[in-house]
């Protein structure tokens, strides 16, 4: 059923890759499910010389190969185009006039959702012009809200992140800012909370009394490929460590929220990220590791002297009563033989004489949350008696295979959820200002030490897993 107040989505960068691979297909899914407001239009803002019909043709070409032609044509009819330069204030003023015309047609002041599907370098310029053209001013407290959607990365270090937040804060309240880390919207990321807090099976053991260590991985088989220039200036730690891996850590270790509403969940994520202990001095030498795959410098756009890491491993510690003393390994990288996204909790061995009857086994229970696409699920490893006459043990498994869930047909992609939540005003799946700041507070000392060559940069062969065994902290 269609619902919601009349809404206009202003999509900056409508001709870009993000818009056509993620945003527009997800909007189409919401449209097909009748989940968009009855009065809803998209105005694409871009520099290309296009008309309304021209942008509609782009939409149909990108979707027609996969979807029903008639439905796609109808969907494309909600799109309009506004040619403009991100740096030209006059183009924003003329955009405001176009939005005003739509309001007049609808006989209301529509909600305005500004999506910055552009490189982060444009964020400050865009938001300043939105403010100066008065596009961000709501019509009133009960209608015509304005919101802004921005993609990671939120800065390249804590200083640039704070500068961006200061710029956003001058124009928007926190409840108007929707920072996207799409990984938070993955079904299995949300399942972490469901698994922990809707079951009484393990919560009393989810602490430093019983957990020996936590390992969190974000390993990718694809390399940098055509993103050489961009990636050379970012590196693996900024690309997935500061955001995806720390969000995985937060959901795994945070305290139970008062409710599953946006504010309560985000407050718990903030709380645990604030408890991260930034490494310093010798800790960086002994608790961090970096490497680069051997053909990285051959990629177009990568400097011949590049020391950018394409793989890293580090140890994180939390200053919290629940997790003090538990090492948390964070590992991420590109160009590995086997892709792996997972969270693994390894429990301390049982202090029991019965387990000493069998030699050579560690008797450690394991909970493994698999987030790899197509392999999602939760696996609990435990010990049981091996069949036979002897009293011997073997490892057994309880397993939830998400891909074979009875409800798998209801699965929604990440951008589908994010767009709907932004329209409906739910911020649970979006990053707060403080979350971004606390993440950079932890990451920055490591990056600074690496930039000074305080830590050796190792090499590894692309499409191999040899580097995964080094080091063992």
> Per residue in 273-285, pLDDT tens?
999 999 888 889 8
pLDDT above 90: residue 98 = yes
The 10s digit of each residue's pLDDT in 232-291 is 989 999 999 999 999 999 999 999 999 887 789 999 999 999 999 998 888 898 999 999
State yes or no: pLDDT of 360 exceeds 70: no
Domains and CATH numbers, the chain: 7-151 (3.40.50.720), 186-411+433-469 (3.30.360.10)
Least confident of 115-124, 138-147, 424-433, 440-449: 138-147
* Local confidence band at 384 (pLDDT 50, 70, 90 cut-offs): confident
Q: What is the pLDDT of residue 65?
A: 64
Mean pLDDT across the chain, nearest whole number? 90
Q: Catalytic residue at 159?
A: no
Selected residue with higher pLDDT from 57 and 469: 57
Is the pLDDT confidence value at 292 over 60? yes
Instruction: Indicate whether this model's pTM tops 0.85.
Output: yes
| Cβ-Cβ contacts under 8 Å for 451 (sequence gap 6 or more) | none
Determine the average pLDDT of the residues in 56-64.
86
Give the tens place of pLDDT for each residue, 165-212: 888 888 888 999 999 999 999 999 999 999 999 888 888 899 999 999
pLDDT of residue 68 exceeding 80: no
Q: How confident is the model at residue 1 (pLDDT cuts 50, 70, 90)?
A: very low
Q: In which band, very low, low, confident or very high, does the pLDDT at 3 lie, cut at 50, 70 and 90?
A: low
Highest mean pLDDT among 68-77, 358-367, 444-453: 444-453
What pLDDT shows up at residue 356? 55
Catalytic residue among 129, 131, 244, 287: 244
pLDDT at 451 over 90: yes
- pLDDT-derived band of residue 341, with 50, 70 and 90 as boundaries? very high
Q: Is the pLDDT of residue 317 over 90?
A: yes
- What average pLDDT does the segment 107-129 reach? 91
Does 338 have pLDDT greater than 80? yes
% the chain with pLDDT above 70? 94
């Amino acid at each position: 059923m269609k619902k919601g107040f009349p809404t206009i989505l202003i999509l900056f960068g409508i001709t870009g890759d993000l818009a056509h691979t993620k945003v527009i297909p997800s909007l189409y899914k919401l449209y097909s499910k009748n989940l968009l407001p009855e009065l809803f239009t998209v105005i694409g803002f871009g520099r290309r010389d296009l008309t309304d019909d021209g942008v509609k043709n782009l939409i149909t070409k990108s979707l027609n190969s996969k979807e029903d032609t008639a439905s796609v044509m109808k969907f494309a009819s909600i799109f309009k185009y506004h040619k403009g330069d991100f740096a030209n204030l006059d183009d924003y003023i003329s955009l405001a006039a176009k939005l005003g015309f739509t309001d007049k047609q609808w006989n209301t002041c529509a909600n305005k959702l500004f999506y910055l599907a552009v490189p982060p370098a444009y964020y400050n310029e865009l938001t300043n012009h939105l403010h100066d053209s008065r596009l961000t001013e709501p019509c009133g407290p009960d209608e015509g809200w304005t919101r802004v959607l921005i993609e990671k990365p939120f800065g390249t270090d804590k200083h640039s992140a704070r500068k961006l937040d200061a710029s956003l804060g001058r124009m928007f309240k926190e409840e108007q800012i929707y920072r996207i880390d799409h990984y938070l919207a993955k079904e299995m990321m949300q399942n972490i909370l469901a698994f922990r807090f809707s079951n009484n099976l393990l919560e009393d053991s989810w602490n430093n009394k019983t957990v020996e260590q936590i390992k969190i991985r974000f390993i990718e088989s694809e390399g940098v490929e055509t993103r050489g220039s961009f990636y050379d200036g970012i590196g693996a730690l900024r690309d997935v460590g500061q955001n995806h891996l720390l969000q995985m850590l937060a959901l795994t270790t945070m305290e139970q929220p008062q409710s599953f509403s946006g504010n309560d969940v985000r407050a718990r994520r903030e709380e645990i990220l604030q408890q991260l202990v930034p490494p310093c001095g010798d800790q960086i030498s002994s608790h961090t590791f970096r490497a680069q795959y051997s053909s990285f410098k051959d990629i177009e756009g990568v400097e011949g002297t590049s020391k950018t890491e394409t793989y890293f491993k580090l140890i994180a510690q939390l200053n919290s009563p629940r997790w003090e003393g538990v090492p948390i390994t964070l590992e991420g990288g590109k160009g590995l033989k086997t892709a792996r996204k997972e969270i693994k909790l390894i429990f301390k061995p049982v202090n029991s004489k019965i387990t000493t009857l069998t030699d050579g086994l560690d008797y450690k229970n394991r909970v493994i949350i698999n987030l790899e696409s197509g392999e999602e699920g939760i696996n609990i490893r435990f010990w049981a008696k091996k069949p036979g006459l002897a009293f011997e043990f073997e490892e057994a498994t309880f397993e939830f295979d998400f891909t074979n869930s009875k409800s798998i047909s209801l699965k929604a992609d990440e951008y589908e959820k994010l767009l709907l939540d932004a329209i409906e005003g739910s911020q649970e799946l979006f990053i707060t200002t403080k979350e971004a700041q606390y993440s950079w507070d932890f990451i920055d000392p490591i990056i600074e030490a690496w930039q000074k060559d305080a830590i050796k940069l190792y090499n590894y062969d692309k499409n191999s897993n040899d580097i995964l065994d080094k080091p063992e902290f």
